[in-house]
Structure 1
Amino acid sequence: MTQRRMPLLDAASLQLEGKNMPMHIAALMTFSYPSSLDEAERRDFVSRLIARWREETRIVFPWNQVLTRPTRWQFRPATREIYELDLEYHLRQWSLPAPGGEKELGQMIAWLHELPMDLEKPLWECHVIEGLSDNRFALYIKIHHALVDGISGTRLLVGSLSTSADTLSVPMWAKDQTEQAPKAESTPAKPGLPSFGDVKAAFEASLKLRRSNDELTTFRSTPDTILNGPIGPHRRVATQQFGLARLKTLAKAADATINDVVMAITGGALREYLLEANALPEDSLTAALPVSTRKPGDVSIGNQVSMLFGSLGTNIADPALRLAQVKRSTRAGKALLNDLSPNAVNFYSLFSTGPFLTSTMLGFGSSGRQLFNTTISNVPGQREIRYLNGAELLHVYPVSLIMPGVPLNFTCVSHGDFLNFGIVACRDRVPHVQRLAVAMTTAFEELERCVLNSPQG
Structure 2
Amino acid sequence: MFIYGETSSSKMHVAGLLPFTPPADAPRDYLRRMVDDARRQEVMPPWNRKLAYPRLQFSPLHTWVTDTEFDFDYHVRRSALASPGDERELGILVSRLHSNHLDLTRPPWELHVIEGLEGGRFALYMKIHHALVDGYTAMRMLGRSLSTDPETRDARMFFNVPIPKRSRPTGAGAQSSNPVTATLRALGAVGSTVSDGVGSAVDLASALVNTQIRRDGDFGRISGSASAPHSILNARISRNRRFATQQYEFDRLKKLSSQHGATINDVALAIIGGGLRKFLADLGELPDRSLIAFLPVNVRPKGDEGGGNAVGAILAPMGTDIEDPVERLAVITAATRASKAQLQSMSPAAIIAYSAALLAPAGGQIAGALTGVNPPWPHTFNLCVSNVPGPREPLYFNGSRLEATFPVSIPIHGMALNITLQSYADTMNLGFVGCRDRLPRLQRLAVYTGDALGELEAASS
TM-score exceeds 0.5: yes
Over 3 Å counting, the alpha-carbon distance change for 1:143 and 1:121 in structure 2 is same
| Conserved 8 A contact 2:365-2:380 | no
133 and 421 in structure 1: CA distance in 2 versus 1, 3 angstrom threshold: same
The residue type equivalent to 2:154 in the other structure is: L
> Residues 285 and 356 of structure 1: is their aligned pair in 2 closer, same or farther, counting only changes over 3 Å?
closer
1:202 is matched with 204
Residue equivalent to 2:181: none
Q: Secondary structure at the match of 1:177?
A: coil
Identity %: 39
Give the TM-score, by structure 2 length.
0.88
TM-superposition CA deviations, 1:412-439 (whole Å, max 9, x none): 1111111111100000111110000000
Residue 385 of structure 2 aligns with an amino acid whose one-letter code is I
Structure 1 distance, partners of 2:458, 2:276, is 19
How far did 1:225 drift? 1.3
1:293-318 residue CA offsets vs partner (Å, 9 max, x unmatched): 01111112111110001011111111
Residue 65 of structure 1 pairs with residue 54 of structure 2: no
Q: Which blocks of at least 5 consecutive residues in structure 2 are unaligned?
A: 170-188
User: 1:66-101 CA deviation, whole Å, 9 max, x = no partner?
Assistant: 100004211121011234521110000000001111
> Could you say what secondary structure the match of 1:403 adopts?
coil
Matched, 1:405 2:407: no
Residue identity in the other structure for 1:323: L
Alignment pair present for 1:146 and 2:131: yes
**Counterparts of residues 338-349 of structure 1 (less than 5 Å):** 338-349=344-355
Mean Cα deviation higher: 272-281 or 427-436: 272-281
Does the 8 Å contact 2:225/2:358 carry over to 1? no
Question: Please, what is the CA RMSD of the aligned residues?
Answer: 2.4
| Residue 370 of structure 1, CA deviation | 2.7
Task: Report the CA distance shift for 1:373/1:143 in structure 2 as closer, same or farther (over 3 A).
Answer: same
- Report the Cα distance in structure 2 between the residues aligned to 1:365 and 1:125, rounded to whole angstroms: 33
Query: Is 1:445 the equivalent of 2:454?
Result: yes
Distance in 1 between the 2:208 and 2:235 partners?
A: 24
After TM superposition, the runs of 4+ consecutive aligned structure 1 residues lying more than 6 A away are none
Distance in 1 (alpha carbons) for counterparts of 2:106 and 2:357: 33
Aligned partner of 1:176 in structure 2 is: 162
Aligned length: 431
Provide the rounded CA distance (Å) in 2 between the counterparts of 1:363 and 1:224.
11
In the alignment, does 2:34 pair up with 1:45? no
- Look up the equivalent residue of 1:80 and give its one-letter code: V
Q: 1:46 to 1:361 in 2, by over 3 A?
A: farther
1:57-456 map, 5 Å: 58-70=42-54, 71-165=56-150, 166-178=152-164, 192-193=193-194, 194-206=196-208, 209=211, 213=215, 214-356=220-362, 368=375, 369-451=378-460, 453=461
Instruction: String of CA shifts for 1:372-420, please: whole Å, max 9, x gaps.
Output: 0111111011022222221111111111111110010110111111111
In structure 2, the CA distance between the partners of 1:23 and 1:52, relative to structure 1 (3 Å rule), is same
3-state secondary structure, aligned to 1:75: coil
Quick check: 274-283 or 413-422, which moved more?
274-283
Secondary structure of 1:13's counterpart equals coil
